[in-house]
Amino acid sequence: MVDEPAGLRDGRFGARGSAPDDGLLRFSLKLDGTVSGLVAALSLVGARMLDSLLGLPVWLHWAQGAFLAVYAVALWYGATHPAVMRPVAVAAVVLNVVWAVGCAAILAAGTSWFPLTALGGGYAGFIGIAVVVFGSMQYAGLRRAG
């Protein structure tokens, strides 16, 4: 009788016999989830204050906050599942690309869409860069995890 390697028996190894390398993917999903949760709270609680500071309307802050609250929970759920939930990670990459395009569109439209302040332009640019970084990390994590 042949004994299974301990790692295969207790689920630490994949079918190829090597430990799955999902650390970057878990980290990037949790980081994105944490930042998204913080931005959600700020957007929902401080929408009226942010309206005057950034030049983005209250309804946009509330919509952003509601979306990001759900998104943050989904990311944390997918990242802390025993096996990282690949559909959640793929959705995160896609949504980060869409979010970055949205930020770029807001910046490109300038004040024709919203009365952006200088701080609002900086905010949209910073968020756009942040989601590109998160999406890139998640994509690299997906590739590494196989």
- Between CA 80 and CA 65 the distance in angstroms is 22
The answer to whether residues 78 and 28 touch, using CB atoms and an 8 Å cutoff, is: no
Q: What is the pLDDT of residues 47-77, one digit of tens each?
A: 999 999 999 999 999 999 999 999 999 999 9
pLDDT digits (tens, 9 = 90+) for 74-120: 999 999 999 999 999 999 999 999 999 999 999 999 889 999 999 99
DSSP state, 111? G
pLDDT range class, residue 27, cuts 50, 70, 90: very high
Q: Which residue has the tokens 């024709």?
A: 112
Residue 105 to residue 113: CA distance in whole angstroms: 10
Q: Which residue has the tokens 């990670």?
A: 89
Q: Are 51 and 57 in contact (CB under 8 A)?
A: yes
